[in-house]
Amino acid sequence: MKVIVLPCDGIGPEIVAASVEVLSAADARFKLGVTYDYDSVGFDSLKAHGTTLRQEVLAKAKTYDGIILGTQSHADYPAPEKGGRNVSAGFRIGLDLYANIRPARTRPFLPSNLREGKSMDLVIMREATEGFYPDRNMSRGWGEMMPSPDMALSVRKITRHCSERIARRAFELAMTRRKKVTAIHKANSFHMTDGLFLEAVRHVAKDYPEVALDDLLVDASTAHLVREPERFDVLVATNFYGDILSDLASELSGGLGLAGSVMASDELCCAQAQHGSAPTIAGKDIANPTSMILSVAMMVRWIGDKTRHSRMQQAGDAMSAAVDKVLANAATRTRDIGGTMGCKAFAEAVAKAL
């Protein structure tokens, strides 16, 4: 298994190193034959090459089995014309990583932000290549404009093709879980765009008669996530809604630092933590690498499923189980969740548990 490693900004290098340590332990146990190549993106790339994301990095990434991408400090980048390219968006568009898969689950041994007695085990399947984001809804140019200093406009793009393929991934996933898909939309206001998305989801649903489909307005879904999270299995959503709901679900289940995330095309998978780059704690060995480690575990499992490689499937599952085993012990948690361990020590504990 060939992996390209891109540490990126803030705490990215620390949590990526932690995830590589755990993956290396999985490699030793399951004989995966993992090889690593490193390259720069983000501020390191900007300093060395004048851009946060070089086109040759994207081209090279296509030749690997998996990508490990660290966190980016996109809000601090210069303007795109000055080299400040959105790294995550560049990968999603450049490599057609249209499926942003974001699970959120409570753990009985960790506190959550849900009401007492409530639990959560769901996956948000977020379309990541179109929608309201202005850098991915035009073939040329930008999806936002200001006709005058006092007026700003934004263009949204929704296509049947992208809606159907993210819906299909959602139904495929639901078939391996509790066989329920909830489509998130606002078709009562966005009649054409969300209407098209909902129509596409319903069309795909016909191919999966064993899966129950319902739909919710995006505003109502936030209330249901808080009040009755157990009703959800797989949620499928357009880019903007999925981005917001996945942060909400992860925070409710215990925190963004505890939730994995991958971006996938039909051929390639990229592991990237759900949370941001946290530059204020970078280099202090206090970051929680759980999200990054779980993201890499998801990537390994994705590659195993795609290639029908049983040892990779087992390795991905074992990495996740090792994280839970370490988190279950209050003495081996990072300080953000009540422990005292640093980033490196936590990774060592997970690798040992594995």
| Residue 59: CB atoms within 10 Å | 11
Residue 236 has which token pair? 């499928």
Angle between helices 290-307 and 310-327 (to 10 degrees): 160
* Whether residue 206 lies in the annotated active site: no
Instruction: Report residue 310 as tokens.
Output: 């049983």
132: which 2 tokens?
Answer: 């309201």
What superfamily in CATH does domain 112-253 come from? Answer: Isopropylmalate Dehydrogenase (3.40.718.10)
Q: 260-290: per-residue pLDDT in tens?
A: 999 999 999 999 999 999 999 999 999 999 9
The CATH T-level fold of domain 1-103+259-354 is: Isopropylmalate Dehydrogenase (3.40.718)
Indicate the pTM of the whole model: 0.95
* pLDDT score, position 225: 97
Catalytic: which of 65, 96, 186, 241?
Answer: 186
Tokens describing residue 26? 């999985």
Q: Which of 64, 77, 98, 133 is catalytic?
A: 133
Q: Does the pLDDT at position 136 exceed 90?
A: no
Mean pLDDT, the chain, whole residue set: 96
Distance of CA 348 to the CA centre of its chain: 24
Distance from the first to the final alpha carbon of the chain: 19
- Which member of 39, 121, 247, 305 is catalytic? 247
Mean pLDDT score, 203-230: 97
Pairing mode of beta strands 121-127, 234-237: parallel
Q: Got the DSSP string for 102-136?
A: EEEE--TTS--SSPTT---EEEEEEE-SSBS-TTS
Q: Decide: 131 and 239 in contact? Cβ < 8 Å.
A: yes
**Residue 168 pLDDT greater than 80, yes or no:** yes
pLDDT at 158 over 90: yes
Predicted local confidence at residue 112, as pLDDT? 94
Confidence of residue 138 (pLDDT cuts 50, 70, 90): confident
For 29, half-sphere exposure in the C-beta direction (CA atoms, 13 angstrom radius) is 20
- The residues of the chain that CATH labels 3.40.718.10 are 1-103+259-354, 112-253
Contact yes or no for 128/92 (Cβ under 8 A): yes
**Helix (H, G, I), strand (E, B), or coil: what is residue 22?**
helix
37 assigned to active site = no
Q: Is 305 a catalytic residue?
A: no
- 251: number of CA atoms within 13 Å, CB side? 9
Digit-coded pLDDT (tens) for 302-335:
999 999 999 999 999 999 999 999 999 999 999 9
Is 64 tagged catalytic? no
Q: Can you read off the two tokens belonging to residue 207?
A: 């191919």
Specify whether 44 is catalytic: no
Cα–Cα distance list, 282 to 7, 14, 67, 104, 301 (Å): 12, 8, 22, 25, 29
Joined together, the tokens standing for residue 282 give 């970078």
- One-letter amino acid for residue 239 of the chain: N
Spell 127-163 as b/e; 16+ CB within 10 A means b: bbbbbbbbebbeeeeebeeeeeeeeeeeebbbbeebb
Interstrand relation of 2-6 and 66-69 (parallel, antiparallel or unpaired): parallel
CA atoms within 13 A on the CB side of 234: 25
Q: Are 327 and 110 in contact (CB under 8 A)?
A: yes
> Contact 249/223 with Cβ under 8 angstroms?
no
- At residue 137, the pLDDT reads 76
Q: Which of 9, 194, 233, 243 is catalytic?
A: 243
* pLDDT tens per residue, range 86-132: 999 999 999 999 999 999 999 999 999 999 999 999 999 999 999 98
Task: Calculate the alpha carbon distances from 99 to 162, 184, 266, 335 in Å.
Answer: 10, 15, 9, 32
**Measuring CA to CA, how many Å separate 276 from each of 75, 106, 279, 325?**
10, 21, 9, 25
Q: What is the DSSP string of 180-238?
A: EEEEEE-TTTSTTHHHHHHHHHHHHHTT-TTSEEEEEEHHHHHHHHHH-GGG-SEEEE-
Question: At residue 135, does pLDDT exceed 90?
Answer: no
Q: Which of 37, 207, 214, 219 is catalytic?
A: 219
